[in-house]
């Protein structure tokens, strides 16, 4: 049986799972949801789930700890868990499909019992929501997209790399190079910790549930947004454009926990473009975007500094420098590592909000078991604080923003003001 040891980035996400559970939430679960016309064939999907598990037994494994190390040990399951929920339109009332997506995300189990992937089909009238929920230590968002690709594409290139990107980098570096890179990373983090991060809210949530607010843009608006992104942050800086716009939208909406700067970590995908492997294991590093509050008020200065920061970080190889830091973190307990990752020496949360931009799926699936896909959405748990995350994705030429937040921590009118401000910033109409 195949056994998969967690790489250092997987352990990092497992530490975040520990922190999220400490906040009272279900755990580090994420989801990709497809809105589908009609009702897909249950038997076909179930068959694909069985075939996938036969080909990739680690996809139905369970998390096990041996000493200081964590492993995915294949279970006796012979299929990806596939759950079907049929809704009577006359009984749904004011609820919609998203309410049930939230229920799926908030249904937590102990980490050792969590299935790495679960497929859910929610049916109502003549439409469906197909949800892939995954446990983040098993895969990053791109890995989850690849799972969907292998599940629902008839032909897939199955050529496997000899080494994953994370393993390749860590194995080719000498001990002294790792030490030098780790020192660079530590110096960068100390520079970030000079300023107290601004948080959107200081209030305690009224419940321990994830909630979602979805905002979608049509193709014309998406083209406008991407044009502005290229203008302000360059061809490869789209994520920075979203981050900067969110900073300005938060500043306009008002923050109750004031600090000196906005600080936002963002992932750097280490895979080659359009790589179909690896699906399993997180293959990312991360960088930080940090801007002082007075600069955020100037749109031009904000994007100039974000762009300069990113160029300097790449030049100093800070994206790679974080890997030895995460490798060292695997020798710490989850509680100790999670506390170090989240909190500065001042004891303050580092992140003003969580952010993820996965770009466009390559290639995009067009149907699920013969039923056309009309939309794609993403969701992810966050810790409290900051209690607010923004996920951006593009599907069929349309941008969707998913505001993920802890229920009851933010006023509805504040969230609406934030979303409206974000739209205005994205479209260049501040």
The tens digit of pLDDT for each residue in 10-49 reads 999 999 999 999 988 999 999 999 999 999 999 999 999 9
In SS3 terms, 371-385 reads as EEEEEEEEEECCCCC
Residue 229 lies in a domain: yes
Q: What is the mean pLDDT of residues 95-108?
A: 82
Provide the angle, in degrees to the nearest 10, between the axes of the packed helices 334-342 and 8-22: 90
pLDDT band at 364, cuts 50/70/90? confident
Over 70: is that where the pLDDT of 159 sits? no
Residues 175, 147 share a domain: no
Rounded distance between C-alpha atoms, residue 190 and residue 375, angstroms: 42
* Stated length of the chain: 430
pLDDT band at 155, cuts 50/70/90? low
pLDDT on residue 430? 74
Rounded distance between C-alpha atoms, residue 396 and residue 400, angstroms: 11
pLDDT on residue 306? 96
Q: What is the mean pLDDT of residues 373-392?
A: 92
pLDDT on residue 202? 65
Residue 373 lies in a domain: no
Residue 201 lies in a domain: yes
Average pLDDT along the chain? 90
Q: What is the mean pLDDT of residues 333-351?
A: 91
Residue 106 lies in a domain: yes
Lowest-confidence segment of 83-97, 204-218, 387-401 by average pLDDT: 83-97
pLDDT on residue 272? 82
Q: What is the mean pLDDT of residues 181-203?
A: 90
- Strand, coil or helix: 251: helix
Over 80: is that where the pLDDT of 1 sits? no
Q: Convert the pLDDT of each residue in 281-301 to its tens digit.
A: 999 999 999 999 999 999 999
Over 90: is that where the pLDDT of 126 sits? no
Q: What is the mean pLDDT of residues 308-336?
A: 93
Query: What is the secondary structure of 351-376 as a DSSP string?
Result: -SSEEEEEEE-SSPP-EETTEEEEEE
pLDDT on residue 230? 95
Q: What is the mean pLDDT of residues 301-308?
A: 96
Rounded distance between C-alpha atoms, residue 93 and residue 104, angstroms: 19
Q: Convert the pLDDT of each residue in 44-95 to its tens digit.
A: 999 999 999 999 999 999 999 998 889 999 898 999 999 998 887 766 654 5
Residue 163 lies in a domain: no
Rounded distance between C-alpha atoms, residue 71 and residue 61, angstroms: 9
CA dihedral 48, 2, 118, 145 (to 10 degrees): -70
Residue 267 lies in a domain: yes
pTM for this entry: 0.94
Residues 291, 184 share a domain: yes
Counted domains in the chain: 2
Residues 189, 131 share a domain: no
Q: How do beta strands 82-87 and 388-395 pair?
A: unpaired
Residue 375 lies in a domain: no
Q: What is the mean pLDDT of residues 360-368?
A: 84
Q: Alpha carbon 348 to chain centroid distance?
A: 22
pLDDT on residue 156? 56
Residues 115, 11 share a domain: yes
Residues 219, 193 share a domain: yes
Percent of the chain surpassing pLDDT 90: 73
Number of Cβ within a 10 Å radius of residue 379? 25
The residue behind tokens 């300069």 is 308
Residue 43 lies in a domain: yes
* Residues of the domain holding 125: 4-152
Over 60: is that where the pLDDT of 118 sits? yes
Q: What is the mean pLDDT of residues 149-160?
A: 70
DSSP 234: -
């Amino acid at each position: 049986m195949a056994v998969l040891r967690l790489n250092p980035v997987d352990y990092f996400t497992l530490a975040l799972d520990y922190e999220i559970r400490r906040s009272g939430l279900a755990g580090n679960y994420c989801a990709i949801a497809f809105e589908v016309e009609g009702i897909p064939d249950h038997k076909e999907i179930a068959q694909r789930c069985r075939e996938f598990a036969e080909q990739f037994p680690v996809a139905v494994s369970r998390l096990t700890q041996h000493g200081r190390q964590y492993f995915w040990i294949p279970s006796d399951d012979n299929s990806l868990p596939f759950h079907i929920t049929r809704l009577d339109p006359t009984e749904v009332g004011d609820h919609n499909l998203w309410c049930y997506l939230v229920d799926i995300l908030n249904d937590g189990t102990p980490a050792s019992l969590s299935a790495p992937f679960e497929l859910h089909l929610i049916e109502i009238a003549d439409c469906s929501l197909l949800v892939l929920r995954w446990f983040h230590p098993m895969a990053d968002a791109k890995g989850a997209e690849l799972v969907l690709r292998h599940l629902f594409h008839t032909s897939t290139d199955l050529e496997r790399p000899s080494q994953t990107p994370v393993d390749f980098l860590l194995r080719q570096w000498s001990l002294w190079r790792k030490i030098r890179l780790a020192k660079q990373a530590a110096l960068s983090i100390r520079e970030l910790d000079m300023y107290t991060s601004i948080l959107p809210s200081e209030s305690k949530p009224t419940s321990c549930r994830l909630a979602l607010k979805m905002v979608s843009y049509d193709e014309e608006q998406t083209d406008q947004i991407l044009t502005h992104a290229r203008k302000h942050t360059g061809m490869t800086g789209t994520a920075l454009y979203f981050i900067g716009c969110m900073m300005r939208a938060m500043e306009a909406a008002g923050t109750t926990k004031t600090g000196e700067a906005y600080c936002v970590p963002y992932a750097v995908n280490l895979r080659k473009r359009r790589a179909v492997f690896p699906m399993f294991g997180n293959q990312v590093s991360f960088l930080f975007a940090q801007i002082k509050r007075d600069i955020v008020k100037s749109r031009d200065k904000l994007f100039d500094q974000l762009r300069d920061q990113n160029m300097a970080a790449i030049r100093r190889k800070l994206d790679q420098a974080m890997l030895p830091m995460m490798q060292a973190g695997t020798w710490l307990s989850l509680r100790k590592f999670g506390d170090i990752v989240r909190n500065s020496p001042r004891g303050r949360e580092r992140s003003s909000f969580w952010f993820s931009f996965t770009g466009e799926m390559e290639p995009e699936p067009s149907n699920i078991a013969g039923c056309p896909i009309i939309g794609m959405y993403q969701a992810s748990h966050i810790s409290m604080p900051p209690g607010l995350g923004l996920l951006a994705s593009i599907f069929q030429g349309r941008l969707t923003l998913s505001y993920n937040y802890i229920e009851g921590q933010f006023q509805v009118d504040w969230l609406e003001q934030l979303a409206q401000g974000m739209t205005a910033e994205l479209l260049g109409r501040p």
